[in-house]
Each structure stands twice: as C-alpha cells, then as structure tokens.
Structure 1
Amino acid sequence: MNETMNFNDILTNDFVNNFMFGNLSIIDILLGLLTAFIVGGFIYFVYKNTYKGVLYSSSFNATLLVMTMITCLVIMTISTNVVLSLGMVGALSIVRFRTAIKDPLDIVFMFWAIAAGISSGAGLYFLTFIGAVVIGIVLIIISRKKHVDTMYLLVIHYTEEAADDVKKELHKLNHTLKSKIMRKNVIEQTSEVRLKIDNTAFMTRLNEIEGVRDVSLVQYNGDYAL
C-alpha cells in the first residue's frame, strides 16, 4: 500500500531529528569569520581606492567590513537550526533601513559585502576568495577608465548689463541651464557644463567681463539637487 507524506509528516519525522539542530566546530567558526574579515578588508581597500564621489565616508566603508562579518555570523547561526532560520527570515523581513544611498555604486559594495558574508558563512571559502578577486578587478578597471569629459556646475553672479556678454561666452561651452535667479539688478545663473580636465580658461574670460561679480565651478556627479 502506497503511503503519501505531506509537509506535516516531514516536520514531525526524520527531518526534524536530523536537521533541526546542527553543530559548528570552533575551527569552522574561526575559518568563516577569518574569511569574512579578509574579504571584508579587501572590499574596504577596493572601495577606498575606487571612490569617485564628492565626499568619502570612512564610516560607511568600515560598515562594509563589519557587515561582511555580521552576515557570515548570521548564516552560520541559521545553518545550525532550521526553526531559527525560519524565524530569522520573518524577523529580518520587518527591518527597514532608512539611510539614503547617495552613490548608486555604494549599493554594489553593500551587496558584495552581504554576498561575501553569505558564502563565507556557508563554508564556501574558495568561492568567497575567487569571487572577491574577480569583482575587485572589475571595479578597479571601471574606476580607472578615464572619461573624456567631466561634469561641473558653473555658478555666475552678474548684473543685467553683462547678460549679453555672458551669454555669448557660454555659447562656446557645452552647457545646460539649470537655474536662473534674479535679485534686483543681480542675476545668479547655474549651468551644467562638460569640460575636459583643467580646461578652465573660460573662467578668466567670464570674470573679466564688466558686470560679472564672481564665477564658481564645482565638480558635479549628478546627485546635486537645486
């Protein structure tokens, strides 16, 4: 006579007895955490040397290292207890992180740290190291790629009398008007310009125009909000 086994039978028989609790040796724990620490340190090094944003955050970079080790610890914990793993999935599903990510590439490093922690916590040390080396090389190559143009924000304060001369000079640049504010006789104009590195001779020409009070140039990575 054929007997069918449903999900409840699985949880009440050998599955519970064999897989409910597992044991991790001290060597497994130390190897996992050590692997996570080494790879997390490598992620720290790659992030620090490839960061191209405006303001580097050392605390965020340190978080990547610690996140790798914490993820490894979580994976080792749930791998020893099936019931605990199910409960932890429910607990982590209600966690919400409200910290804004300014650079989209930071998300890549966060997922890299989490993935490295998962693989090291699962005991896949070879996969962790190989994956870290390959991803690190890719990120370094991408960061070393030189761009022909760099994006800047050009801010000019000038009087109405200088408007025509400023407009003529800006026509020589690859620019896009972002904002224009008029305060009585003074105009504040913000434009997005693409320039080759150190090609800022136009600032001298703008500053020499009669009626121009000041000219400012700020590197811009696309996250600036007016």
Structure 2
Amino acid sequence: MDTVNFDDIFKSSILEKTSSFSIVDSVIGLLAAFIIGLLIYYVYKKTFSGVIYSHTFNISLIIMSMATALIIIGISSNVMLSLGMVGALSIVRFRTPIKDPMDIVYLFWAIVSGILCGAGFIPLVIIGSILIGGVLILFGSRIRVENPYLLVVRYDETSIEKSMEHIISKHVKKHSVKSKSIMPGDDFEVTYEIRVKENDMSFINNISNIEGVKSAIMLSYDGNFTA
C-alpha cells in the first residue's frame, strides 16, 4: 500500500510545469525574437512609401514577434496548454483594417519569425530574415509607389469647369472626377483624383487664379475614396 507524506500533499503543480522547460532556452528564444523584431522595424521604416508612417504599427511588429515566440515556447512544453491556446485564440477578432498589402507581408514576417524563434530554429530565422530584409530593401529602393492626390475645387459658376479641365490636363499625368456636389450658397465643389508629374504642384496656383474659384485644396491619400 502506498503511503502519502507531506511532500505529496504540498506538491506544487506549478513547479512541475516550470521544470518541464528550459529557462535559458526560453530567454534565448525571446531575445532572438526581439533582435529579429528590431530588424523588421528597421526594414519597415526604411522601405515605407505610403502616405502616413505609423510608428505604433512598426513597434507592434517587434511585440508581435516576441509574443508569438512566447506562445510557441509555452505550448511546446505542454500539450493541454496548446489545446487551450488554440481555443482562446479562435475567439479573437481583429477589427483594424490593413489596407497596404506590404503591411500584411511585415505582419506575416513577424509572426513566422516569432514561431521559429519559439521553436528553437534560430539560425534558420536569422538567415531567412537577412534574405527577406535584403530583398525588401533592394526592391523598395527601386520601386516608388506613386500615391495619387485629391484636388478639391470650390467655385461659383459651371462655365469655368472647362478652364479647370484644361489646366489639369496640361499639367498632370492622369485625372478623373471622383465627386461633384452643390454646396450651400449655390457654390459647386468638384473632387479630382490626379497623378502629378514629378511632384509638380504649381498648377494649383493657376486654378486658384481663375475668376470664380473660391478655393483649391490638394490632399494626399492612399487610393481609397468613399463618396
């Protein structure tokens, strides 16, 4: 008959689970994820070519790689924890829209790096990240995304529309009317999507000088427009 002593009664399951993984390996995995996250941070900042640079999104790439590594380290040492983690993550819903396809690439890069660091494939993630970063920097420096602009003109007579169209057609590569509306006071407002030639925006002064034009505003945007 087995006897029960005080050690069996006060045995801590937490200590048993703690001894099932290596603290040194866990620290090395997290440090590797942090270093790779810094590399992703640098590459994203250097190659960003969108409208508005988001520093918080870039910082989140570092945290995402470390958090993913932490999850992999945890579930690799406990089968029950891995099943519970899958169930917990299945109810998570991300509401923030990702409009730039390159942002999805960096998110995927951060997640994959965290998985490999947590699994202990540190040499693989180092070699892969160096190659991926080199490709992004190489092509990012050669490819320049030509972001369109919105030109919003407010005027009081429809007869000046031909003059505006003539000036715009002469100075821009491509343009199209996105919206046109009648404002209070019988004023008109038209919104053009335009692509300028070599960042030449001097034509907006010519439009402003047209008699009957009350305002002319140019805005940079990411290509998404809701009328």
Distance between the aligned counterparts of 1:131 and 1:145, measured in 2?
21
User: Number of aligned pairs?
Assistant: 207
Structure 1 residue 217 corresponds to structure 2 residue 218: yes
Aligned residue type for 2:202: A
Q: Which runs of 5+ in 1 are unaligned?
A: 1-19
Q: Which moved more, 1:142-151 or 1:53-62?
A: 142-151
Q: Which runs of 5+ in 2 are unaligned?
A: 1-16
Q: Does the aligned pair in 2 maintain the 1:21–1:82 contact within 8 Å?
A: no
Deviations 1:171-209 (A, max 9, x none): 334211100112243211111111123222322221221
1:8 aligned partner: none
1:66 aligned partner: 63
**Deviation (angstroms), 1:89:** 1.4
> What RMSD, in angstroms, separates the aligned Cα atoms of the two structures?
2.2
Distance between the aligned counterparts of 2:47 and 2:226, measured in 1?
24
**Deviation (angstroms), 1:212:** 1.4
2:181 aligned partner: 181
1:192 aligned partner: 193
Distance between the aligned counterparts of 2:219 and 2:55, measured in 1?
22
**Deviation (angstroms), 1:221:** 2.0
1:83 aligned partner: 80
Aligned residue type for 1:51: F
Distance between the aligned counterparts of 1:27 and 1:54, measured in 2?
42
Give the direction of change, closer, same or farther, for the CA distance of 1:146–1:75 in structure 2 (3 Å limit): closer
Distance between the aligned counterparts of 1:149 and 1:101, measured in 2?
19
List 4+ stretches of structure 1 deviating above 6 A.
none
Identity of aligned pairs, percent?
A: 46
2:10 aligned partner: none
Give the TM-score normalised by the residue count of structure 1: 0.83
Q: Does the aligned pair in 2 maintain the 1:180–1:189 contact within 8 Å?
A: yes
Q: Does the aligned pair in 2 maintain the 1:50–1:139 contact within 8 Å?
A: yes
Q: Does the aligned pair in 2 maintain the 1:21–1:81 contact within 8 Å?
A: no
Distance between the aligned counterparts of 2:101 and 2:225, measured in 1?
14
Distance between the aligned counterparts of 1:96 and 1:85, measured in 2?
19
